[in-house]
């Protein structure tokens, strides 16, 4: 992409029409270009053969289609595949494609890094990076679909990759406007560490994706020790915002709860979690810690019997609870393991961690 070229990828239909209006004389041309971008995954203007040769040449001088480079692919023994994308400015992000029978879940990134420095997250260890554009968000879905030669039909999409989605709501909104033409809102989940202003803004959207909250501790003391954002948005304020969040009768908030051995996995912690979420339309997704060499060695995965006992204690008290399957850990594609290769760490240091 040259300095004078504008990227068409990431422009919702209405904005695409505005940008192209000076260069096309028939409105249906916008629909042709839109379908080529988001249904066929066209990688360059010249491949949009629905347009005449002269129009393609004129548009190619002014516009580009910013599909990222697939730098590497790592296939796990369980079929999970991790993609490393290199963006136009050299930044790198990762996305993970997770097959599960007839279903697929694509875990994508919203930022090139993350400034929240959660102590259990490898992305946070490498520090903050820039927001992704709407085009760079959509491009992950298109690029993986092209590699897999599959469309968005039957795909579940989760914003649980690198970055905090609710700190990039403008790009997220544009990306979702595009993606939901192919993927149902009900099949899209946005996960947040608890950014209250973002939750409140999302609550005002006419249509909303599913919402998941990274909780990971039932009290402020322990949550602040592993999630510094809790000092800014403590649990009482976060839960109050979530109680105001609009849900339909069938919808539930998902609370992601990372289980760390001898830190938050005791029966009393399960009881405290039930009390904390009392009255909410909620379900709990338990995630046994995925260790990584950059994380504090004191953070360990609980024994399987402890995980099962924790889940059973929640369900015995009326809470819906599931245990997330460990997928892709042999290629560092499991929850919390995504990173930005080639960068110096700018987040927490292992020596500063103390549980």
The set of catalytic residues is 94, 335
First to last CA, the chain: 47
Q: What are the residues whose beta carbons fall under 8 Å from the beta carbon of 322, sequence distance 6 or more? A: 283, 284, 285, 286, 311
Backbone angles phi, psi at 291, to 5 degrees: -65, 160
Residues 214, 256: contact at Cβ < 8 Å? yes
| Angstrom distance (rounded) from CA 259 to CA 334 | 14
Residues 247, 258: contact at Cβ < 8 Å? no
| Angstrom distance (rounded) from CA 267 to CA 238 | 24
Residues 314, 273: contact at Cβ < 8 Å? yes
74, with CB counted inside 10 A (0-12, 13-18, 19+), is middle
| Angstrom distance (rounded) from CA 235 to CA 5 | 46
Place of tokens 């080529």: 36
| Angstrom distance (rounded) from CA 56 to CA 47 | 9
Distance, C-alpha 13 to centroid of its chain? 23
- The DSSP symbol for 19 reads H
| Angstrom distance (rounded) from CA 36 to CA 91 | 26
């Amino acid at each position: 992409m040259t300095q004078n070229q504008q990227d068409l990828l990431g422009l919702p239909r209405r904005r695409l029409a505005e940008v192209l209006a000076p260069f096309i004389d028939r409105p249906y041309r916008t629909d042709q270009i839109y379908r080529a971008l988001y249904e066929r995954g066209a990688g360059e203007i010249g491949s949009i053969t629905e347009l005449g040769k002269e129009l393609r040449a004129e548009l190619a001088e002014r516009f580009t289609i910013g599909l990222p480079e697939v730098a590497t692919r790592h296939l796990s023994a369980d079929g999970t595949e991790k993609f490393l994308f290199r963006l136009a400015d050299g930044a790198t992000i990762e996305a993970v494609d997770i097959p599960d029978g007839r279903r697929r879940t694509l875990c994508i990134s919203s930022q090139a890094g993350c400034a929240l420095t959660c102590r259990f997250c490898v992305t946070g260890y490498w520090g903050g990076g820039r927001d992704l554009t709407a085009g760079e968000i959509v491009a992950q879905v298109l690029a993986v679909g092209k590699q897999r030669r599959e469309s968005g039909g039957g795909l579940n999409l989760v914003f649980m990759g690198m970055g905090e989605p609710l700190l990039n709501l403008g790009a997220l909104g544009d990306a979702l406007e595009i993606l939901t033409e192919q993927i149902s809102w009900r099949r899209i989940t946005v996960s947040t560490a608890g950014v209250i202003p973002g939750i409140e803004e999302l609550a005002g959207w006419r249509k909303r994706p599913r919402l998941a909250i990274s909780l990971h501790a039932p009290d402020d003391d322990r949550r602040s020790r592993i999630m510094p954002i809790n000092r800014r948005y403590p649990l009482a304020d976060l839960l109050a915002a979530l109680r105001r969040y609009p849900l339909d009768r069938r919808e539930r908030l998902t609370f992601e709860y990372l289980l760390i051995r001898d830190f938050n996995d005791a029966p009393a912690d399960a009881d405290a979690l039930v009390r904390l979420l009392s009255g909410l339309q909620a379900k709990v997704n338990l995630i046994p810690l995925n260790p990584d060499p950059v994380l504090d060695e004191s953070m360990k995965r609980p024994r399987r019997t402890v995980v099962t006992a924790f889940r059973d204690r929640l369900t015995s008290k009326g809470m819906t609870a599931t245990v997330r399957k460990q997928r892709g850990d042999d290629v560092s594609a499991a929850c919390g393991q995504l990173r930005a290769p080639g960068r110096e760490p700018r987040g927490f240091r292992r020596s500063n961690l103390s549980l």
